[in-house]
Homo-oligomer: A and B are copies of this chain.
Amino acid sequence: MTKTAAVLDSNTIIESLRDAGYRVTAPRQAIVEALTGFERAFSADDLLQHLSASDPTVGRATVFRTLDMLVSLGLLDRLHAADGCHSYVLAHSQSRHYHHLICNSCGVVVPFESCNIEALYPAVSEETDFQVSGHMLELFGLCGSCRA
């Protein structure tokens, strides 16, 4: 149990990449390093700008390709906020079920695990004649700091 339990760090991500058969290259390492530094959701462009100041020059295309790759490996989550639909956050866990809670004021994103949406399935099934198999949920609110 480390200080920030269950949050992926750059080494773990790089290892996952390698395990999945992808090559560990300098641009990919720079991208992974950068995205573990974000505390809130970031866009491809945020990442691009952040990287423009870093060691290796990373091309636009590489950023998009790497983001897609990380999402497909479950290492990165795509956020579907009300306004911007294309932002990303580091995945919280690859094994446990969780969702995101987003602060309306500062934009910080935290995961939460207490989700009993599946309890809704029977009622919804009955109401709609659907066989429900999945859900997408995001909560909004105010974080502790912003309330203060």
Contacts and interface: CB of A to CB of B under 8 A. Distances in A.
Given A85-B80, A137-B136, A130 B117 contact: no
Contacts of A104: 133
Interface in A89-140: 101, 103-104, 110, 112-117, 119-121, 123-125, 127-140
A141 interface: yes
How many copies, total?
Answer: 2
Judged by DSSP, the binding face of A is mixed
A147 interface: yes
A91 B37 CA distance: 39
Interface residues of A, number: 40
Contact of A123 (B114, B132, B142, B143): B114
A99 to B, nearest CB: 9
A21 interface: no
Question: Which 8 A-B residue pairings sit nearest by Cβ, starting from the closest?
Answer: A85-B85, A132-B141, A129-B144, A114-B123, A134-B140, A130-B141, A80-B80, A131-B142
Interface of A: 80-82, 85-86, 101, 103-104, 110, 112-117, 119-121, 123-125, 127-144, 147
Given A80-B85, A113-B127, A134-B139, 16 more contacts: A80-B82, A85-B86, A101-B128, A112-B124, A114-B120, A116-B120, A128-B143, A130-B142, A131-B142, A131-B147, A132-B139, A134-B141, A135-B140, A136-B139, A136-B140, A137-B138
